[in-house]
A and B are shown apart, each in its own frame.
Chain A
Amino acid sequence: MPAPTSRPAAEDAVLVDRLRSDETGNAMRALYRLYGGELYGFALNALGDRGAAEEIVQEVFLRAWRHAGRYDPERAAVRTWLYQITRHAIIDARRRAAVRPGLALHEPEGEAPGGASLEQAMLGWQVAAALERLTPEHRQMIRMAQFRGLSMREIAEHTGLPLGTVKSRTWYALRSLRLVLEEMGVVPT
Chain B
Amino acid sequence: MREELGGYVLGALEPDEREAVSAHLGTCHECAAEYARLAGLPTLLRHADGLEIPAAPPAVDERVLDRVAKERGQRPRRGRAGMLALLARPWRWRPGLGRRRATIAAAVAGAALGAGVTAVVLGGDDGGRPAGRYALRLTGAAGASARAQLEPGRGGTEVHLWVKGLPPGAEAVYEVRCERPGWSASAGTFRADARGRAYVVLTTAARIGEYERIRVVRRSDPRDADVMSAEIQ
Contact = CB atoms under 8 A, between A and B. Distances in A.
B44 to A, nearest CB: 5
Given A36-B60, A41-B51, A61-B60, A173 B44 contact: no
The SS class assigned to the B binding surface is: helix
Nearest to A55: B60
Interface of A: 23-25, 28-29, 32-33, 36-38, 40-41, 44-45, 50-51, 54, 57-58, 61-62, 65-66, 120-121, 123-125, 127-129, 131-132, 141-142, 145-147, 150-153, 155, 164, 166-175, 177-178, 181, 186-187
Given A167-B4, A174-B6, A174-B38, A32 B44 contact: no
B38 to A, nearest CB: 5
Interface string B1-44: 01111110110111001000000000000000000011011101
A175 B38 contact: yes
Nearest to B2: A171
B7 A152 contact: yes
Contacts of A181: 44
Nearest to A117: B47
Contacts of A121: 47
Given A58-B67, A178-B41, 13 more contacts: A23-B75, A25-B61, A32-B64, A44-B54, A125-B53, A128-B52, A145-B10, A145-B12, A146-B10, A152-B17, A166-B7, A171-B6, A173-B6
A150 B14 CA distance: 11
Nearest first, the 10 A-B pairs at minimum CB distance are A36-B56, A170-B6, A171-B6, A124-B47, A32-B61, A127-B48, A128-B51, A152-B7, A37-B56, A128-B48
Contact of A40 (B7, B41, B51, B57): B57
Contact of A32 (B12, B50, B52, B60): B60
B181 interface: no
Interface residues of B, number: 46
A151 B10 CA distance: 9
Nearest to A131: B48
Contacts of B193: 51
Contact of A124 (B40, B48, B60): B48
A29 B153 CA distance: 25
Contacts of A167: 3-4, 6-7
B12 A28 contact: no
A169 to B, nearest CB: 8
B41 A25 contact: no
Contacts of B76: 23
B141 to A, nearest CB: 28
A172 B6 contact: yes
A66 B50 CA distance: 33
